[in-house]
Amino acid sequence: MKLQTELQTELQTDIAIIGAGPQALTITTHLLQKGGRRSPQLVVLDPSGTWMQRWHQQFAAQDIAYLRSPVAHHPDPNPYALRAFAESRHRELFPPYDRPSRQLFQDFCHALIQRWNLQDRVMAAEVVQIEPIRQQRYRFRLWLKDGRGLLARRVVLAGGDGALNVPEWARSLQETHQGAYPTDRLSHSDQVDLGQLQLQGDRVLVIGGGLTSGHLALGAMHRGANVKLMARRQFQVKLFDADPGWVGPKYLKGFNAEASWQRRWQMIQDARNGGSFTPDVMLKLRRAQRDKSIELIEQCQVVQVRWCSDCWQVDCTDGEHFECDRIWYATGRKLDAAQCPLLKEIQAQYPAKLVHGLPILDSHLRWPGCELFVMGGLAALQVGPVARNLRGATIASDRIVEALMKPTIALSRAVA
């Protein structure tokens, strides 16, 4: 009886969506579109209290002018919606494939949020723990950072792509030499905000071979810095993260037919094949190299870094030594369900097999044995190499919404 009373005073919802980025926005619009008047009750949780905060912040911080993906990829269920929205703004669609400008995409998402009346749907809250509970109506209690609990029947995890990937030498510096150097002189790319920095005359080392490293190198150059851009292999040039065949049946058919999860994982690695620059960014980098504004260093890695009174001393695998004022490592994020704090109790109570950190989900992207659905890079064994991208959000939403719109079937299976 006491438990019953406690449960009644807690916040409650049918569906809780963790995160308010592009993945969450995509599933929300798909759910409302499919559900119409029968749409389930849902709560979206994000510390920012607003939609797409991290996306907008990253695009501004890295000075990105337009998206890498084409005009058909966006959070609206209608694939032509962004093209229609851009009708009077053609100059903001960049060839090839009409890639939308940052501002166009931002305005489009804003209009989408208004149209679906989603402005007030995001609750400003960080989920710190997902506790599976065995209660008749609710299957989860989400613990929020402010100490409150939220009961939910179903949960969609759309919280982005894991912890920052930190190179070993940087990790050991951060752990053992904390305080010995100014912390803003050694940063992961996600912590760099070009607009906030005075870089005139600074020597900046950017590490990585992905598009982010290219954007940061060019952005620093435009602000008057002397830039070195270093990659451990040769620079790769690709228009998209993965071949366009991966956004539809051309390759996904074979991927979905593959019974071995290990082979699926290998297909994802082969398709993405590490980081790459788009042809236009590579062209700008080569021009900057010719003008001696950026030095491009391929097949080289940092061996050791020391802070010597006012700058970094860097030793590299090619035997070179040099000094610089700032180091930015654009080394991405680590996708590993075993390292995701929110999945700790889920994994303990409903153990899922992991393949190199990726969980084996069912075809609706449901965690085995419970009503927790996973979006983004962690769903790649089902969604394929574009899982973390905008197109992946649409593929994931189609699969998850199908399950969410059958509450009785889903719930009775979970209760059984």
Confirm or reject binding of residue 62 to ligand FAD (CB under 6 A).
Answer: yes
Instruction: Tell me whether strands 11-18 and 42-46 are parallel, antiparallel or unpaired.
Output: parallel
Confirm or reject binding of residue 266 to ligand FAD (CB under 6 A).
Answer: no
Binding characters for ligand FAD, 353-382, by CB under 6 A (x = yes) = -----------------------x------
> Which region, judged by CB under 6 A, interacts with ligand FAD, from 57-65, 147-155, 200-208, 285-293?
57-65
CA distance 153 to 227: 51
Q: Applying CB under 6 A, which of residues 55, 246, 329, 373 lies at the interface with ligand FAD?
A: 55
Confirm or reject binding of residue 344 to ligand FAD (CB under 6 A).
Answer: no
CA distance 367 to 304: 41
| DSSP per-residue letters across 213-258 | HHHHHHHHHHTT-EEEEE-SS---B-SSSS-GGGGSHHHHHHHHH-
Restricting to residues 14-53, name those near ligand FAD by CB under 6 A. 18-24, 45-48, 53
Residue 196 CB neighbours (<10 A): 8
Confirm or reject binding of residue 275 to ligand FAD (CB under 6 A).
Answer: no
Which residue blocks in 10-52 are alpha helix, DSSP H?
22-35
* Cβ distance to ligand FAD smaller for residue 71 or 302: 71
Restricting to residues 150-209, name those near ligand FAD by CB under 6 A. 158-160
Render the burial of 139-169: b for 16+ CB within 10 Å, e for the rest.
bbbbbbeeeebbbbbbbbbbbbbbeebbbeb
CA distance 229 to 216: 9
> Which region, judged by CB under 6 A, interacts with ligand FAD, from 32-40, 58-66, 282-290, 297-305?
58-66
Q: How many residues comprise the chain?
A: 416
* Cβ distance to ligand FAD smaller for residue 161 or 295: 161
Q: How far is the CB of 46 from ligand FAD (least distance, A)?
A: 4
Confirm or reject binding of residue 149 to ligand FAD (CB under 6 A).
Answer: no
Q: Which residue number places its CB atom closest to ligand FAD?
A: 21
Q: Applying CB under 6 A, which of residues 58, 135, 273, 347 lies at the interface with ligand FAD?
A: 58
Which of 326, 325, 300 shows the shortest CA–CA distance to 315? 300
Binding characters for ligand FAD, 200-239, by CB under 6 A (x = yes) = ------------x---------------------------
Q: How far is the CB of 75 from ligand FAD (least distance, A)?
A: 9
List all residues 6 or more positions away from 253 whose beta carbon is below 8 Å from its beta carbon. none
Confirm or reject binding of residue 127 to ligand FAD (CB under 6 A).
Answer: yes
Looking up tokens 């209660």, which residue turns up?
135
CA distance 375 to 378: 7
Q: If DSSP codes are grouped into helix, strand and coil, which group holds residue 143?
A: strand
Interface residues with ligand FAD (CB under 6 A)?
Answer: 18-24, 45-48, 53-55, 58-59, 62, 64, 67-69, 73, 126-127, 158-160, 212, 342, 376, 388-390
